[in-house]
Amino acid sequence: MTLKKYLFAAVLMLCVHTLSAHAIWLETSTTGKIGQAQEVKVFLGEYGDNQRDSLQHWFSNTKEFTLFLIAPDGSKKKLDCVENGNNFKATFTPEVAGTYTLSIDHTIKNIYDGNKIRYYALGVVKVSNSLTGIDNMKQHAGLVLLTAPDKAHKINIPENVQLLYNKAKPAESAVTVQSPAGWSKKFTADKNGVVTFSPFWPGRYMLEGTFAEKESGKHEGAEYTGVWHCVTYCMDVEK
């Protein structure tokens, strides 16, 4: 291999590593009130490093994501997102009590290292502390990350996180837990797609589930030999 080709390969691998380390995630209050506007922010970057990319640095067609709101009755609508510094911002106003699900499912236009990249971001807002509609998230196609919906998340109490892909258990999946203190650890999911961990610090954690799917085909005119799925969910932990 010539020096020029070697350098090109090294740069390519660095780009792939950087992209796979990045994720899209949602930040919003996990509780809401009927008739009160709820703000949602969409970020791209590396949560564990407190890095939120400026909008002009969002790669490929990342900016072309669509944010959906699923109401407690299962009805779905697109939310308008506007540029807001280093994020996109959207708002919605809950009309009834229940659990509202926020969802992004976005496939990157470019192929990286032979892989198609599919990003997902999820959020849950409980209005009037009602769990009506909590199972709507389980019905999503693609990669979904589930936590216990009926309890508060507290430090030193074990948390079970489950990954589902197209409503089934994905093979060889993992969950990376990123804490508000900067601590981060990757856990391999068991045969049921479950990971268990105990949060040590109060604050907002980002859970990032990943799954490499063996699939080949053509996307946007380019050949690919696999699909890298990445789903994020922010979980607030109390003392």
pLDDT score at 10: 36
pLDDT score for 171: 84
Q: What does the domain layout of the chain look like in residue ranges?
A: 3-237
pLDDT tens-digit map of 145-198 = 999 877 889 999 999 999 999 999 998 899 999 999 889 999 999 999 999 999
Place of tokens 């040590």: 200
Q: What is the pLDDT of residue 97?
A: 98
The sheet carrying 194-197 orders its strands as: 143-146, 159-165, 194-197
pLDDT at position 139: 84
**pLDDT score for 7:** 37
Which are the contacts of 41, defined by CB distance < 8 A and separation ≥ 6?
Answer: 26, 27, 28, 84, 87, 88, 89
**Which residue ranges in the chain fall short of pLDDT 70?**
1-21
What CATH architecture is 3-237?
Sandwich (2.60)
pLDDT of residue 21: 60
